[in-house]
């Protein structure tokens, strides 16, 4: 049984919105409350909080999670408020001339994260998370499920730290510290699980969603990717970059139905599934 402390939302100021939650800054204390949108279960917030505590205690740079909270209808957690912070996405939006600088800094931070070994006793394997998803839920056609499970069975495993939602909206800086945020999906596995979703954000995201979530256009996100990937991999060779990108496709195809369910509580539209199932076939 998880203990949620009730907060008075009138003591907070709404300061941010993501795909699944809204953030509120306390008017007088240095705390920030993240409340999931209505319809998300209390257990979801609790799982994110306990994962965030694990990540913080591992020494990963991230704001400290303090407590589970509710406003009576929504559930979430309260975190350390990082004063003067801006996400990398916000910086690119407000200062577009810094795109290359920020993309290179993001690549460096991602490499450093993916060089760390995870606490496998307290975190889950991302392969296991996805395997459980396909075995327990019927949100994709049987053929898609069969191919996804076949890929997951042979996909490589590693004890590498994974953010779970690696993108420029989930890393912040106050000028002195650079911190990862929204670490509820933090797990371990091969880095392709992180990089594959970043790839689709840069290539397949519609303008309205890109502007709402990241404050940047799809064109800017694509430019960010083209700076990020060579810096992350340490090569500018077109053949190597193309080969690595193609190796991401089955990871993306296996992950995206899970992400869609997590964000929208529904299955990926049939048209979308048919478009990407070939990525699993070719794996």
Could you report the per-residue pLDDT of 151-171, keeping only the tens digit for each? 999 999 999 999 999 999 999
Tally: H helices and E strands in the chain? 10, 11
- Six token digits for residue 219: 């064109």
| Dihedral sign from CA coordinates of 117, 123, 126, 128 | positive
Class of domain 5-80: alpha beta
Taking the C-alpha atoms of residue 153 and residue 135, their distance in angstroms, rounded to an integer, is 12
Q: Which CATH architecture has domain 86-281?
A: Alpha-Beta Complex (3.90)
Q: What is the pTM of this model?
A: 0.90
- Six token digits for residue 49: 């909080």
Q: Where in the chain are the domains?
A: 5-80, 86-281
Give the HSE-up count for residue 6: Cα atoms under 13 Å, Cβ half-sphere: 3
Residue pair 77/52 in contact (Cβ under 8 Å)? The answer is: yes
The DSSP call for residue 9 is G
Strands 65-70 and 5-6: parallel
Per-residue confidence band for 274, with pLDDT thresholds at 50, 70 and 90: confident
Could you report the per-residue pLDDT of 218-244, keeping only the tens digit for each? 999 999 999 999 999 999 999 999 999
Could you report the per-residue pLDDT of 164-215, keeping only the tens digit for each? 999 999 999 999 999 999 999 999 999 999 999 899 999 988 888 888 888 8
How far separated are the first and last CA of the chain, in Å rounded? Answer: 42
């Amino acid at each position: 049984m998880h203990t949620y402390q009730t907060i008075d939302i009138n003591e907070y100021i709404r300061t941010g919105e993501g795909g699944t939650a809204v953030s509120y800054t306390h008017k007088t204390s240095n705390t920030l409350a993240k409340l999931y949108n209505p319809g998300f279960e209390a257990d979801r917030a609790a799982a994110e909080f306990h994962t965030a505590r694990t990540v913080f205690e591992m020494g990963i740079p991230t704001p400290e999670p303090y407590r589970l909270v509710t406003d009576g209808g929504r559930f979430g957690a309260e975190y350390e408020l990082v004063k003067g912070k801006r996400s990398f996405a916000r910086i690119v939006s407000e200062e577009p001339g810094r795109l290359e600088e920020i993309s290179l800094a993001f690549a460096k931070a991602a490499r450093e994260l993916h060089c760390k070994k995870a606490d496998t006793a307290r975190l889950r394997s991302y392969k296991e998370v996805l395997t459980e998803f396909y075995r327990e839920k019927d949100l994709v056609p049987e053929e898609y499920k069969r191919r996804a499970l076949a890929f997951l069975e042979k996909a490589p495993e590693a004890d590498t730290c994974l953010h779970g939602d690696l993108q420029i909206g989930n890393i912040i800086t106050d000028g002195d510290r650079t911190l990862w945020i929204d670490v509820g999906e933090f797990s371990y596995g091969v880095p392709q699980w992180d990089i594959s979703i970043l790839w689709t954000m840069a290539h397949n995201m519609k303008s309205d969603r890109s502007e709402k979530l990241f404050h940047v256009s799809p064109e800017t996100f694509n430019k960010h990717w083209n700076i990020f990937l060579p810096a992350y991999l340490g090569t500018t060779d077109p053949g190597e970059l193309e080969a690595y990108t193609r190796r991401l496709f089955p990871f993306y195809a296996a992950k995206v139905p899970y992400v869609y369910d997590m964000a929208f509580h529904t299955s990926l539209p049939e048209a979308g599934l048919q478009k990407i199932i070939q990525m699993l076939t070719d794996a």
